[in-house]
Each structure stands twice: as structure tokens, then as C-alpha cells.
Structure 1
Amino acid sequence: MAIAAPISPEHIAIVKATAPVLKEHGVTITSLFYKNMIGAHPELKNIFSLSNQASGDQPRALAAAVLAYATYVDDLGKLGHLVERIAHKHESLNVQPDQYQIVGKHLIEAVATVLGDACTPDIAEAWTAAYAALAYIFIGRERQLYAAHGDWPGWRRFRIARKEPETAAITSFYLEPEDGAALPAFLPGQYVSIQLFVPQLGHMQPRQYSLSEAPRPDYYRISVKREDGAGAGLPGLISNILHADYHVGDTLELSAPAGEFFIDPNADAEQPVVLISAGVGLTPMISIVNSATAAAAAGGPKRRISWIHGAHTAAARAFAGRVREAAAQGTLLNTTLFVTEPAAGDAQGAEYDVAGRIDLAKVDREAALFLGDARAEYYVCGPYAFMKDVEAWLVRAGVAEDRVHLEVFGTGDQ
């Protein structure tokens, strides 16, 4: 299957006409696609998250993405944000152009198998052309992203220099490059991919983790919550392995920082920022706060930041001391802390501000949400359903959708 850019009006018409069929059979098609492709190319197990495969999230997400493409194949500008998010993810996983050939072959074959006689030669031809056009877009964008990290191709070995518990469930890993070379700066909010060998699987598995510190030339920090893995039926994968089996002095592999969820700490000082996070979703936010406060201390713009965060308990909230310290430095940072179940000794105004889950109706619309300022940008990180609920609330409150940014690592936001 040749990778080429053009797609004819006739092919566009067929792709759009078959979108309802994809909506009906999409997950069946993509489930068969992953099964057949990974069966034929087991080396791709090193790229795809087994947890997302086992839960069915990956096939559902691909089905939604393919449907979105079919719907807007004649107006791809509406998919720009989705393309950018996926391209960054691909870059972080070191996806290469020749792998698009493999994906295309098995995807079209899965369409033909599931649809049977309904997949006419014209439909197969149109979808082959449509896939080739989309692959062309991704390959071009990913080539640009790789070029930006030209001195860091693929995976790079890092040593765990420090390992510090932040809470009972969250541990920070301070990672220094094994080659000793200075690390490139990243944009606050971005992530790195790590890959580990999983003995019980017999191959590598990748995961993305937000960088939880302001950029530094000597180390990166990730802060990982220990997950039980029960949802995938595979307890012990990645987060538990990191917590239990990786110690100071051990090495792991990282890809270069990536992701379209970030702020520019040197942006217009008059543009306020609202951070809204839940649970371990605070990790990119602490990078943003640390970067913004460092920029302000160095004479850069003093952007107003409001951080609304929710945790199950005050004890489960990582970096509480750092957040209080940053908030005490002046008017740059304003915090609103929700705690679902305050402990008996927790003081309102100290360990928490509001009891219960995050409810934006309970915070000040101007001091905490800047709803009257059309320049305000909103960054949301946490469970997917939480993020979509926050996004919907903000849009109902009059915030333009393009000013609301969600950090989606896995398979949502299609």
C-alpha cells in the first residue's frame, strides 16, 4: 500500500457515505484488526499497551477515531487537535513510517472481513486511499517532531538517582541520563514515555507519565501512582513494577518529552491560567506551577494561576507542602483544595478548603475561575469522565471550547 497524500472527491464521497457502517461495526473491525496485526507482528506488542487491549479501550478508541476521520474527511481542520495529540503519542512511542504500511494492510483487511460482500471494490479502494492520505499527514507531522529532538532518537537510558514517596500511593522517580549529557528543556505539562521489560509478558511495555518538575538540565522527574491493575486483569504491570522492583541505581528507557498539553511560562502576563485536577492528575500541574513561579522569580511574566484540585483525603494529596509554599509567595497562585473525606484532624482552610468532590459551582467564578476574562486558559487533568464533566461545565459557563485543554494519555477524547 503506497503512502500518498491525495484523495479524490469520489473517494471522499464513498468514505463519508460508509461512516454509518463504521459506527455500527467499528469496534468489531478494530478488535479484529489489533488481533490480526499483533498476531502477524508480535514485535508491535512493545508499542501497544496490553492493559488497553485487554480492557477493550484501545479498539473502542480507534473505532471512534476512524469514525471521526470518515465524518470529517472533507474538513480535516476539525480534527487538527486529535491529529496533534496522536502524533505526539506516536513520537513518544518511536512509531516509524514503515509501520503505517503494516497498520494500513491489516486495517483494510479487517474492514473487508467484517463487512464481507458489503465491502465492494470501490469501498475498499476509497478506504485504502483515505488511510494513505491520513498516514501521509501523520508521517509528515511526526517527522517534524522527531527533527525537534534530532539528538535524541528513539529510546535513551536513564538511571534512577532518587526515589521518594510523596504519599502512600505516589512515588517520585528522579531520572538522570546515563550518558551524562544535558537534557533538553520541555514545555511544562508535557510527558515522557518509559518502557520496561515485563517478565510475565516476555516483552517490553510502554507507559506515559507527566514530568512533575520544572525543566532542568540534569534530571527529569516523574511521579507515579501505584495502580492495582485489576481493570486489565493483570495486576503488577508498570506502576507496581516501578514501585516494587525499580530502585536507586537501576536503569530504564525514556523517549524525549512530548505532548500537546502544556503552557508557555513566558506567555502574556495578562493571560490567567486555571488548573483543574483530580488525584494523580496533579503531576503536570506541579510542573506548570513550578515553571511559572520560577519564570516570575527570574523576572519573567507573573501570570495569575488558579489551581483547583480534588483528592480523596488530604493525606493522599502529593506535593501539598510545595503547593502551600508556592501559594504563600504572593498573589501568583491561588488554590482551592477539595477533599472528599476530610479526616477528623483536618482543618478547613489548611488541609482543605471545601469538603466533597470537585464542584466548580462552589468556587468563586472570578477569583478562582476567571470566567469574566476571555483570555483565560483552562488545563484539566484527571480521570477521563471527570475531565469531560469539567469541560462541559466550563462550556456551559461561557468558556470557548478551544480554551479548555484536557490531558488524555490513553484512549479517550476521540
Structure 2
Amino acid sequence: MLSEKTMQIVKSTAPVLKEKGTEITSCFYKRMFNAHPELKNIFNMSRQQTGGQPKALAYTVLQAAENIDRLEALLPVVTQIGHKHKSLNVKPEHYPIVGHHLLEAIEIVLGDAATEEILQAWAEAYEEIARVFIEIEKQMYDEDKKQDGNWEGFKPFVVLDKRVESETITSFYLKPADGTDLPPFSPGQYVSVRIKIPGEQYFLTRQYSLSDAWNKDYYRISVKLEAEEGKPKGRVSSYLHEAMEVGASLEVSAPAGDFALSEQTDQPVYFISAGSGITPVMSMVKTLAAKENDRQITFIHAAKSEKHHAFKEEVEKLIGEKQEGRLLFIYSQASGEPSDHVINGRLNDDILKTAVKNTDAAFYICGPLSFMKSVIEGLQNLGVPMENIRYESFASSLDMQIAN
């Protein structure tokens, strides 16, 4: 338990952390990777290069400083990060390494302002924060152990099938190399995929949403080729698209993630996605479509064009067979003639107002940051309570908060 004095000292550092947080975390990562290059097998080095990871960690550190006297307020964020840590096989022994280099970075960046008293207070605070993370992650690991067929860390899989879903998205059907049955997962969760690419010194690991309802034989992930104009192709996504063929091997973590469908209700549900944000939503809608109930489903998806729209026919068949199902596709680049469920344009407040018939429904949203922020704001303007809205962006909820 932290003393009142320690908490006050840590809280007093919040202003300087707000100003110099990213500088501190950038210094931290550089020094940690120099001392422990093996940790590059865990971290997404692309997010290091773009600055996304140092920025997200800086925000987490700032939130910890501001809430050190009530860490329970950070529980949703800690849980989300804990799921990601579990999928990457982060263990208790990693936390002292992080703590050592984080304190070292604080001392370097703050210079004389980092007094012995401040450093000692942060050492104590970090130990308490690490304890919270370790306990939550232990609960997650323990829950996995209770489930038949689950595993810890990474397990060898083979590519059972590979299917092009759109101009930019390809699905991979992954089967355990040992032929064992796969454990159930919550619709909306993801797995970490770890591969060793020729020419790369370290493993590359990425998280991909499971895009199918559970079955015991295979998991399906659907990967967008990261290839924005003027930027280099995503190292992992391009390798999967261009080099990973049927029969190839890779490693996969057990499913994780807290963006998950609540199945124990008959509450009407809206799925609102954009681009490759359709992937976790597909797992949810396929799970619901397989159930024999009258739960009302509204499926809204925005894409650049019809050729960029993955799972179009699959969704039309799924929702079309549901008496209580409604569909709406929105293309920012005109793709043929509009129909009863196809609109050319962009998802905006007017379209939301027309499409949303029930503000007491459950809403599941996934897509790019700007899309997410716009949709959530639009739903709130319609009177949808925030507790009815669940979201998953390809950044993180931390990034969502940073952008606010």
C-alpha cells in the first residue's frame, strides 16, 4: 500500500509528465531494447518507429500519475492492456526490466528535476502498478488453464485455406499443427500471430481479430494489406498476403481481448464497422445468426467501394435469412446503382438518424479512429447512452482517449 506522501509526490509529477511524457517513453524504449534486444520479439517495432507505442505508454504513465490514489479508475484500461499482454505472453519477470529502464529514462529526461525523493516515489508507484497488472494477467492465464484445449504462449499452426475477400483483405484459415480441437472464444476477440520472416532478426508479432464463429477445427483471421500510398507496405501483412500459402506454418496465441459480444440477452444489436473493422464484427454476427432466436440485428458497414468490401455476399446471406435483420452498406466511392441497402457517400449523422431505430439497443463499433469518434459522437447525439456502446479500434482505446 502506497503512503499518502508517495501518492502526493507522484501526482505532483503529472504536469511534467504531460509535457515530457513521450520524450521519456521514447528514451525508455531505446534504452530497454539496447539492453534487452530479445524483447523485440514481443513488441511491435513498427509502432515504435511511427511513435504510436511511446505516445500510448506516455498516456498510460500520465493516467497512472493522476490516478495513483485510485488505481481502480484505470481498471478498464489495465484489463485491455492485460489482454494484449496475455496474447503476447508477457510474464511477471518482464515487469522489473520495464521498471528499471522507465525510472532510468525519467531520471535522464528530467535531469536535476528528478530528485531522489521523486525517483523513490515513482519506484514505489511502479511496483504497485506492476502488481495490479500481474494480478489481472494471472487471472487471465488461470482462466485459460481451466478451459480444455487452451494453451499458454504460442502454438504451431498451419494454413488450412487462404481466400481473397476483397481488394485489400485476405482470410487465412488456421488449424493447430498437432490436430487438437480448438477451445471456444468470445466473438470479437483476437489472436496474436507470430512469424519469422526471412531476413528479419526477430520474430514479428501482430494481433488479428477472429472473423468467424467458433468451431473446433480452425480459426479464421482476415488480414488487411497495409499499403498506404507513399508509405512502405506493412511488413507482416504483405508477407501474409504475398508469401503465406496453404500448408505454411506460423505460431498463434490463445484468443484474447475484451471487445466481445454479450450473448446472454435478447437486446436488439447494431453492428457498425468501416474497412477492415468488419473482421471482429463478422465473428459476432455469424455467432448470432447461428442461434435460433429473434434478436434484431442491424448491420451497417462503410467501405471505400464494393471491391474493397469484404464479406459482402456472406453478410447478405446471413442477415437476409434473419427475419429481424437489416442491412446498410455505404460506399465513399460510387459503386454502381444504389439499392435498398446500398448508399453512395459517407456515414454521417443524417444516415445514423435514419438507421438507428432503437437507442436502447447494444452497439458494437469497429474501424479507424476518425470513424469511431464520429460514430460514437453521432450515437450520443441521438440519445444512446455510452454504457450501450462497445468499440474496438485498430489503434487502442488509449489512442481514442489521447485523440479526445
Structure 2 residue runs without a partner (length 5+) = none
Shift of residue 200, structure 1, vs aligned partner: 3.5
- Which residue of 383, 396, 401 corresponds with 2:386? 401
Aligned residues of 2:22 and 2:58 also touching (Cα < 8 A)? yes
Q: Which amino acid aligns with 1:168?
A: E
- Alpha carbons of structure 1 residues 277 and 13: separation in structure 2 relative to 1, 3 Å: same
Following superposition of structure 1 onto structure 2, how do residues 13-412 of structure 1 map, counting pairs within 5 Å?
Answer: 13-150=8-145, 151-228=150-227, 234-265=232-263, 267-269=264-266, 271-296=267-292, 301-343=293-335, 346-349=336-339, 353-365=342-354, 368=356, 370-371=358-359, 373=360, 376-411=361-396, 412=399
What is the letter of the counterpart of residue 343 of structure 2?
V
Identity of aligned residues (%): 44
Query: Which segment drifts farther, 215-224 or 64-73?
Result: 64-73
Structure 2 CA distance for partners of 1:200 and 1:235, relative to 1, 3 Å: farther
Give the distance between the partners of 1:132 and 1:229, measured in 2 at CA.
Answer: 41
Give yes or no for contact 1:27–1:59 (8 Å, CA) kept in 2.
yes
**Stretch deviating more after TM superposition (235-244 or 197-206):** 197-206
Superposed CA deviations along residues 349-370 of structure 1, whole A, max 9, x for unmatched, are 26x52221111322345x5352
Structure 1 stretch displaced more, 183-192 or 383-392: 383-392
Count of matched residue pairs: 395
SS of the equivalent of 1:407 reads strand
User: What are the Cα deviations for residues 88-129 of structure 1, in whole angstroms up to 9, with x where unaligned?
Assistant: 000000001000010000001100111111111111111111
Q: Provide, for residues 156-181 of structure 1, a one-character-per-residue CA deviation record: whole Å limited to 9, x for no partner.
A: 11110100111121111000111111
The 3-state SS of whatever aligns with 1:331 is coil
Are residues 84 and 53 of structure 1, via their aligned partners in 2, closer, same or farther at CA, if it must alter by over 3 Å?
A: same
Cα pair distance change 1:58/1:217, threshold 3 Å: same
Give the secondary structure class of the aligned counterpart of 1:131: helix
| RMSD over equivalenced CA pairs, Å | 1.7
Asked whether the 8 Å contact 1:306–1:369 carries over to 2, the reply is no
| TM-score, length basis structure 2 | 0.94
**Residues 208 and 409 in structure 1, CA contact (< 8 A), matched pair in contact too:** no
Question: Would you identify which runs of 4 or more consecutive aligned residues in structure 1 move more than 6 Å?
Answer: none
Shift of residue 77 of structure 1? Answer: 2.8
Measure the CA separation in 2 of the matches of 1:209 and 1:91.
14
| Cα deviation code 1:252-292 (max 9, x no counterpart) | 00000000001133x211x1221111001001111110000
Query: Residue 400 and residue 69 in structure 1: after superposition, are their counterparts in 2 closer, same or farther (change >3 A)?
Result: farther
Distance 1:279 1:103, change over 3 A: same
The CA distance in 1 between the partners of 2:327 and 2:92, in whole Å, is 44
Change (3 A) 1:403 1:73: farther
State the TM-score, normalizing by the size of structure 1.
Answer: 0.92
Aligned counterpart for 1:10 among listed residues 5, 17, 20: 5
